[in-house]
Structure 1
Amino acid sequence: MKLENAKVLVTGGSAGIGLATARMLRDHGAQVAICGRRGDVVTAAAKEIGALPLTGDVGNEDDARRLVAETIREFGEFDTLINNAGWGRFAKLDDLRVEDFLAVLETNVIGAMLMARESARHFVKRGGGNIVNVSSTAGSRGFAGGTAYVASKFALGGMTQCWRAELRQHDIRVMQVNPSEVQTDFAAAGGRVQKLSERKLRSEDIAHAICGMLAMEDRGFTTELTVFATNPD
């Protein structure tokens, strides 16, 4: 599709990969809405890049409906969902709390499903659209301390395949991007130590991958794209 004049909703769009993707889409001439839980942070990020700020929790069904409805009301319609909202809580199995496990699934799995469902209903009516799920290489390989996060990303990969099978007949492209370790505040916020390096991936690298997937002509699509740092050590 043409990125210029595209109408895009980016969840988790106030920082990291979401913000970098929203900024890059704006640079290509797209209309972009970004959403997040913290209204002040979302508003500041939206002002910085010229996007529409929306506040809500993707894991809440009423909020998910409202976020999509507000995007449609402001833009008239929209054609692309970047399902990026997600977080992790990292702990070894014997230290993992049920409430942390469920909280990760609420955003990364239920939130992704709710946003995709509400968007897909609109895309079917308009005759096409795009859903890009931002997953992780953790969706294909586990690691110590990653139980909750890895489970959520394995689930997202399975849902992506289901949605693709259901929605292709409606000219809806369902895609997934799998970043390896990216230098953001994500890991530290989840309690995991991250060693910073100029050789590791940045949010802009993943934004470039997402924009490239979307820019392909609508007659085709990249089902899944995995992005590694060339030599991060």
Structure 2
Amino acid sequence: MTDLTNQVAIVTGASRGIGRATALLLALQGAKVVAVSRSEAELTDLTQKTQGLSIVADVCDEADAQHIVEETLRYYGRLDILICNAGVGSFNELENYAVEEWDRIFDTNVKGTFLLCKVAVPHFKQERKGHIVGIASDVSKRTFAHGTIYGASKFAQDALLGSLRKEVRPHGVKVSVIYPGLVDTYFDDSKPGGAEAEKTHMRPADIAQAVRYVLEAPAHVVVDELMLHPVTQEW
């Protein structure tokens, strides 16, 4: 089993939901967490708990992506793990979507993953080690009504990471993708903690445990894909 003690992990979308739960759990395992979000106030609260580094940044911005990795290397002198978790979504009939919503969803879910990987991968290749974990969605593997743009973005993110896996594996770098089903988070501007969601949805901590599982796999093992659903959700 891989020991996460002193491993340096960037977690994007860390201020809430899955990202926050993942940052907290990795810190408990002894990792040094670099929490990334656009929300400075929520990051401040998080880093008080993780005792790590926080970076206010937009993963859709190329200069910000460069800064995230460079600041991590400057501060800690190493980078071992990249968790591409930042994501947004909304649901509507195709003809009712604004073009701006397409840009917002694809920029965060696909471009954000691309930019962080683009900057981190050369470092991982040089070190001949590293682990990228993408938090995708079960809709990376299926389609549903009113999910045209969100689903398309998650198919694209999954394809990007799947292809990257083949590129970097000869260099000793791992790429894992996690596909959660329904999770009780702030996704699509919803508020977590509702009585119904408690019965039908997973918790952010459940996905954080999945991240821990793939990261702690032995050095000679890579978990390529891991899908999770609440038992109440049909697949």
Same fold (TM over 0.5): yes
Q: Distance in 2 between matches of 1:80 and 1:61?
A: 19
- Cα pair 2:182 2:233 within 8 Å, conserved: no
Structure 2 vs 1, CA of residues 141 and 232 (structure 1 numbering), >3 Å: closer, same or farther?
closer
The residue type equivalent to 2:83 in the other structure is I
CA–CA distance in structure 1, aligned partners of residues 79 and 15 of structure 2 = 19
Aligned to 2:23: 22
User: Which region of structure 1 is more displaced relative to structure 2, 35-44 or 2-11?
Assistant: 35-44
Counterpart of 2:86 in structure 1: which amino acid? A
Equivalent-residue separation in structure 1 for 2:218 and 2:233 (angstroms): 33
1:60 maps onto 2:61 in alignment = yes
TM-score (norm 2): 0.94
Q: 1:218 aligns to what?
A: 219
Q: Which amino acid aligns with 1:230?
A: V
Q: What is the rounded CA distance, in whole Å, between the counterparts of 2:171 and 2:4 in structure 1?
A: 20
1:79 corresponds in structure 2 to 80
* CA distance, structure 2, for counterparts of residue 231 and residue 205 of structure 1: 15
Q: Deviations over 1:32-60 (max 9, x none)?
A: 11101122221222213322110100110
What SS does the corresponding residue of 1:197 show, helix, strand or coil? helix
Q: Which residue of 2 aligns with 1:6?
A: 7
Q: Deviations for 1:106-143, whole angstroms, at most 9, x for unmatched residues?
A: 01000100001111111111121000000000111122
CA contact (8 A) 1:6 1:30 kept: yes
Q: Offset at 1:3? A: 1.1
Segments of structure 2 that go 5 or more residues without pairing to the other structure are none
Structure 2 match to 1:45: 46
Q: Which amino acid aligns with 1:214?
A: L
Q: CA RMSD in A?
A: 1.8
Note if contact 1:3-1:30 (Cα within 8 Å) is conserved in structure 2. Answer: yes
Asked if structure 2 preserves the Cα contact closer than 8 Å seen for 1:90 and 1:146, the reply is: yes
Equivalent-residue separation in structure 2 for 1:167 and 1:120 (angstroms): 8
Matched-pair contact (CA < 8 Å) for 1:15–1:45: no
- Taking only the aligned residue pairs, the percentage that are identical comes to 34
Which residue in 2 is equivalent to 1:113?
Answer: 114
CA contact (8 A) 1:187 1:194 kept: no
Tell me how far 1:189 sits from its aligned partner: 4.8
CA distance, structure 2, for counterparts of residue 74 and residue 195 of structure 1? 43
1:3-51, CA deviations, whole angstroms, 9 ceiling, x for partnerless residues? 1111100000111001101111111111111101122221222213322
Distance 1:65-1:108 versus aligned 2 partners, 3 A rule? same
Question: Match for 1:146: what amino acid?
Answer: G
Distance 1:104 1:189 in 2: 16
Q: Please give the TM-score of this superposition, normalised by the length of structure 1.
A: 0.94
Distance in 2, Cα, partners of 1:95 & 1:176? 31
AA in 1 matched with 2:16:
A
Is the partner of 1:151 in helix, strand or coil?
Answer: helix
Provide the secondary structure at the position in 2 that maps to 1:225.
strand
Q: 1:194 to 1:118 in 2, by over 3 A?
A: farther
